[in-house]
Amino acid sequence: MGEFERLLVPIDFSEVAPVLANWVKKFAKKLKAKIYVLYVLEDLSAYEGIYVDLKTLGELEETLYEGAKKSMEDFMKTHFSDYPEVEPIIERGEVVETIIEVAKEKGVDFIVMGTHGRKGLDKILFGSVAEGVVKNSPIPVITINPYRAGLLIKEEEEVQVL
């Protein structure tokens, strides 16, 4: 096996994103890997067929993009300020496809993502993003269940890389 130098971490700014950030940062330190932190802004063009003014959709999309930029800045300051090899990315598109496309473009060795993110209606409407990425990605995917106590990494624990 070759070296593992690049990790892609899709996040959704939910309550589990900090858990994932802490885990992947420790994992990346062991590998001496660069981390790409990706947020995908859902493409709103799917709603164009509904009686909604296109100007309104465009304004909403721009507002959401600006909010995502601010959220990403805050997330990076809070969770990755102590990790030098990290690059934030915000893309627009269909979430599963965009995650896989960015992973290919960046030449990542692993996609590391949570098995759970947003809950409720979002999950029912959009399905499981992790499941879609696992099923469709040609790149290995590491999934972390943030709700399982055995997978939560505390500050003093070491990440074991086999």
**CATH classification of the domain holding 92:** 3.40.50.620
Amino acid making up residue 13: F
Tell me, yes or no, whether 128 lies in a domain.
yes
Q: Which residues pair with 34 in a beta bridge?
A: 6
Tell me, yes or no, whether 159 lies in a domain.
no
Q: What are the pLDDT digits (tens) for 42-87?
A: 887 767 667 766 677 788 889 999 999 999 999 999 999 999 999 9
* Closest to 40 in 3D by CA, of 87, 81, 116, 101: 101
Tell me, yes or no, whether 160 lies in a domain.
no
Instruction: Show the domain range for 109.
Output: 6-151
Tell me, yes or no, whether 1 lies in a domain.
no
Structurally, the chain folds into a number of domains equal to 1
pLDDT of 156 above 70: no
For residue 43, the model assigns a pLDDT of 80
Helix residue ranges per DSSP H, 4-94: 17-31, 54-80
For residue 101, the model assigns a pLDDT of 98
Tell me, yes or no, whether 105 lies in a domain.
yes
Cβ-contact 80, 35 below 8 angstroms: yes
Tell me if residue 77 falls in helix, strand or coil: helix
Q: What are the pLDDT digits (tens) for 100-141?
A: 999 999 999 999 998 865 554 445 444 488 889 999 999 999
Rg (alpha carbons) of the chain, rounded to whole number? 16
Tell me, yes or no, whether 162 lies in a domain.
no
Tell me, yes or no, whether 23 lies in a domain.
yes
